Copies of this chain bind each other. A is one copy, B any other.
């Protein structure tokens, strides 16, 4: 292997024949032409007449700068696909290169297959141009509308993790991943390079990272282009890659670049083939190879206008977006545009009817070999149902409520273990080093943690074949899983609740992708993105305030109702039911929050199934109101609030047995919304029946209390709704002290009842005193002994059986 810092390509014989070079160049010119056309032209797509201002779009929206580099790569990858019969997809890190990628998919014919009104002819070309970044048309980025895309690239940083996610468990796939040099400055991208520590050359596909040194961002040079080249190569070498550099210099000699790029790509793909052959055929233990990668340096906006208005455009940040801004009004700009377009010699590339000629289309692979038509990039096409073991068989026996104590995630762990075992090719578990901490470690009875770094004695279940991906990066877990799902597989991401905010922005983008995908006829539904958030806000008493944050639920709720689901199963059996449902669902973001510590189980499996089907329900056995209209409703959502609510109900039963209390548990948070707002929303009629029209409702909620108000503000009885939840008060203390700090403890719930039920204050003075005293006692005990008072920890539900 070459030394780091000297990883330039050794001199190669010209590897392209004359005709090959001719074809590549023609294809590249065609793609560039179509890229420019989309940005500028309303009409006159083939320049059959001189351009006039009326041919130009009134608003010029799009990005040119990255386009020619993307087109160059697409052309060369196509050549390699044909020569090597590859299954490949193209991940476009600089997603603002939308017009370039669309251009390639149109040349390949895929675009017209997906959108028959945009044919591969002059009429179609006119539509292709007009629709781009045009009202009622298509977005400016490589969004879900673009065939072959699994990555919009609007928010930069996630291309390489998506690429690795796509490559997992697809040994025949090569993912070509173009990483923008701007994108490469982001943290998530910087943390993605070492994904190769988790890729198994025997069982996974390959990722070919292509760092596109385009040189500039919106207004700045890129960092990676301006550090010493030997440092850049040392860095990439340090990440475990063998970089091959192709440098177009000032761009004068495109033929040299074609030759060098073809040679570099051949060498890289040869190496990938060698690595895979060695890993798959020699029988030797699989090791982490040094994967090849490309560094392609091209002038930004290559082949575009050199100078505009006196300053250099090609090769500078001025080429980032629309190099000629005044085309409609400025005849000089219009003339420059026409020269620019004609410079690609469209008459050699398209026939009189606008159909690409053979020299262009011969460069395109056919059928599913086209990167734009690879079913991998429309993962729903390949999606196979999971083989799911019957969750009922993992049920915790619950002879009566609270009689059984179990850690919910630990119980789930047994089922997850068997999901992993039954689906060795299409399900993975992802976590930021928290599988064991979140008590899913039963998984390690059947598999290991995937790891291709050095493995040493004493390591716990590490191997190159593991189905569990643990890395201390929520970004990587999320990005890998997204890539895995988008290519037709299934997965589960388990994380500490507080730190899942790290991927807020990523889940935004994924939810937007799902929302848009639902509206695209040819995209098939993919498996849902499933979160199991544990070590939640009420279980981070030991790590303190920074680990206490239930706001991810609020964040997710802002996304489109059709794609978002939030579940708060109150115990082990309901968690089993919920997770089975989530893994069977499609095209959602499912957020499930559940505890890991031993806790009372409330429902038998039959009851759990019924409860989860209803989403929320009256727990008649827990209240005293029976079928009667209650004096007060105690509602709860979340495992810890449920326990406190039942404890409060028990206290009320003991001390005020004549008070009619109704207990309602909510497992599906979306049930609270009006049916007009969310498909799971309850009708007002049912809601009113459950929560009454005029009785006080004390709602103990897992997260920030105002979310419950947001969901219910239109409900009849909203003015009587009083929500307790996390008030952003926390520290390192005991679990019950955390509840008291936030007024969510059982005693405070009883006080809330006393305060809210009309007339009760006078009749419950003794109970009020007891509750105040109990809080003080618990607080004092905790401050003195460092643990919760025995009356709290030894309490068990004393109520009746479920009826």
Question: Which A residues form the contact surface with B (CB < 8 A)?
Answer: 4-5, 42, 57-59, 61, 95-96, 133-141, 143, 152, 154-157, 182-183, 185-194, 197, 217-223, 226-227, 231-240, 311-312, 316-317, 433-437, 449, 451, 453-456, 458-460, 462, 470-476, 498-499, 501-502, 504-505, 508-509, 512, 515-516, 542-547, 549, 551, 554-555, 558-560, 704, 706-707, 709-710, 713, 718, 728, 731-734, 737, 782-783, 785-787
Contact = CB atoms under 8 A, between A and B. Distances in A.
A223 to B, nearest CB: 5
A197 B640 CA distance: 48
A193 to B, nearest CB: 8
A232 B238 CA distance: 6
Given A139-B731, A226-B454, 18 more contacts: A136-B782, A139-B545, A140-B543, A140-B544, A154-B544, A182-B433, A187-B191, A188-B191, A218-B436, A219-B435, A220-B460, A501-B504, A512-B546, A551-B558, A554-B554, A558-B728, A707-B710, A713-B718
A190 B235 CA distance: 12
Contact of A219 (B236, B470, B559, B713): B470
Contacts of A547: 154-155
A156 B474 CA distance: 11
B197 A191 contact: no
B133 A221 contact: no
Copies in the complex: 2
Contacts of A190: 187, 190-191, 193-194
A544 B139 contact: yes
Pairs A-B, 6 closest by C-beta atoms: A235-B238, A154-B546, A226-B453, A187-B191, A234-B238, A187-B187
Contacts of A456: 221, 226
Contacts of A731: 139
Given A156-B472, A472-B186, A734-B135, A549 B59 contact: no
Contacts of A222: 472
A728 B559 contact: yes
B433 A217 contact: yes
Nearest to A196: B227
Q: Mostly helix, strand, loop or mixed at chain A's interface?
A: loop
A600 B279 CA distance: 66
A764 B756 CA distance: 44
Contacts of A498: 155, 508
A227 B471 CA distance: 14
A449 B433 CA distance: 39
B704 A558 contact: yes
A636 to B, nearest CB: 20
B433 A218 contact: yes
A508 B221 contact: no
A783 to B, nearest CB: 5
Contacts of A5: 4
A650 to B, nearest CB: 25
Contacts of A316: 458
Contacts of A141: 543-544, 546
B58 A183 contact: no
A741 to B, nearest CB: 10
B458 A219 contact: no
A426 B571 CA distance: 53
B732 A140 contact: yes
Contacts of A554: 554-555, 558
A732 to B, nearest CB: 4
A786 B57 contact: yes
B182 A472 contact: yes
A207 to B, nearest CB: 17
A545 B516 contact: yes
Given A143-B545, A155-B546, A732-B137, A188 B185 contact: no
A709 to B, nearest CB: 5
Contacts of A135: 733-734, 737, 782-783, 786
A702 to B, nearest CB: 13
B185 A194 contact: yes
Given A197-B223, A512-B546, A709-B710, A59 B786 contact: yes
A133 B732 contact: yes
Nearest to A182: B472
A544 to B, nearest CB: 4
Which among A239, A462, A505 has the highest number of chain B CB atoms within 10 Å? A505
B187 A189 contact: yes
Given A219-B437, A460-B219, A139 B237 contact: no
A455 to B, nearest CB: 8
A218 B434 contact: yes
B187 A449 contact: no
Contacts of A473: 185-187
A711 to B, nearest CB: 8
8 contacts: A135-B737, A135-B786, A140-B543, A187-B189, A227-B453, A504-B555, A512-B545, A706-B713
